[in-house]
Amino acid sequence: ETGVTQSPTHLIKTRGQQVTLRCSSQSGHNTVSWYQQALGQGPQFIFQYYREEENGRGNFPPRFSGLQFPNYSSELNVNALELDDSALYLCASSQGLAGVVLGTDTQYFGPGTRLTVL
């Protein structure tokens, strides 16, 4: 089974630009969660998608948006980039609701995309 992959690995943007980050879920997983990790801090939950629908959202403004595709891969879009958006963006896939019921809902993390906003 393949693991969670993310692209690109590194990205440099300027304030006001827009960015799209991509994540491919682990085989068999229908849920993907996105996290933002600022330097020296723990990850913060952005949102989660389950079977192509948003299934929960953290305290992030609407300029953070996402998509999940029928193959369960996902995108995170950030508009009007700000300097504070510089961070490591992590996605994690899991078996979603079925996994929660069965107690097997371990999240598998991708390597992350490091975004720098200048």
Partner 1 sequence: KNEVEQSPQNLTAQEGEFITINCSYSVGISALHWLQQHPGGGIVSLFMLSSGKKKHGRLIATINIQEKHSSLHITASHPRDSAVYICAVRAAGNKLTFGGGTRVLVKP
- Indicate the residue among 78 and 107 with the shorter CB distance to partner 1: 107
**What x/- string results for residues 3 through 42 when contact with partner 1 is judged by CB under 8 A?**
------------------------------x-x-x---xx
CB 75 within 8 A of CB 89: no
Q: How far is CA 95 from CA 17, 54, 98, in A?
A: 34, 15, 6
- Indicate the residue among 35 and 64 with the shorter CB distance to partner 1: 35
Q: How far apart are CA 22 and CA 31, in angstroms?
A: 14
Closest distance of CB 16 from partner 1, Å: 26
CB under 8 Å to 100, separation ≥6 — which residues? none
According to DSSP, the β-strands at 74-78 and 87-94 are: unpaired
> Does the protein bind partner 1 through residue 105 (CB under 8 A)?
yes
> Does the protein bind partner 1 through residue 88 (CB under 8 A)?
yes
Closest distance of CB 66 from partner 1, Å: 14
SS3 99: helix
Report the interface residues with partner 1, using CB under 8 A: 33, 35, 37, 41-45, 48, 55-56, 58, 88, 90, 92, 97, 100, 103, 105-109, 111-112, 114
